[in-house]
Amino acid sequence: MPQAVRIQKESKICIRRKPMEPVFADRKSVLDYAERTFGTLPDYPWLKDPKSAVLRHQDTAKWYGLILEIPPKRLGLSGQGAVDILNIKCDPLVLGGLIDYQRYFPAYHMNKEKWVSAILNGTIPQEELFSLLRQSFALTKGK
């Protein structure tokens, strides 16, 4: 058997790919994505709450995202300390199917009929959350 053919056959046998592991969303990945995708730099409007970041449309200043650090009990969860959440606007028809009280919650401090809170604790895959952030951006774009 010619050398080139044998190598080609061997390489077909030896190539094995590991399945892609999902990457999970956190505060930094959301802020990086918003800047990369929409050109948005976070706004920190509250002196008493310097970790809260608003994501706004550049042309209208309308919010499409809000990152907050809150106690877990505000979401009905147990535990001490604080958790980061991302509030995003959502289609009301999709909203009910998202809320699972583990990763997605009725919006904290926002209209619960149109907004949802996503916990940023490493349980939501980035692509899933980024898709919802793109939808929120589109829903809040204005006319």
pLDDT at position 18, please? 56
User: pTM of the full predicted structure?
Assistant: 0.83
What is the Cα–Cα distance from 40 to 17, expressed in whole angstroms?
Answer: 36
Domain ranges of the chain: 20-139
Q: What is the mean pLDDT of residues 62-79?
A: 95
pLDDT at position 112, please? 92
Higher-pLDDT residue of 23 and 142 is 23
pLDDT at position 7, please? 46
CA 138 to chain centre: 15
Q: Which CATH number fits domain 20-139: 3.90.1150.30, 1.10.3720.10, 3.30.565.10, 3.40.50.300?
A: 3.90.1150.30
Tens digit of pLDDT for each residue in 10-33? 445 455 555 566 789 999 999 999
Torsion sign, CA atoms 7, 8, 9, 15: positive
Percentage of the chain lying above the pLDDT 70 cut: 85
Tens digit of pLDDT for each residue in 100-127? 999 999 999 999 999 999 999 999 999 9
Say whether pLDDT at 59 is over 80.
yes
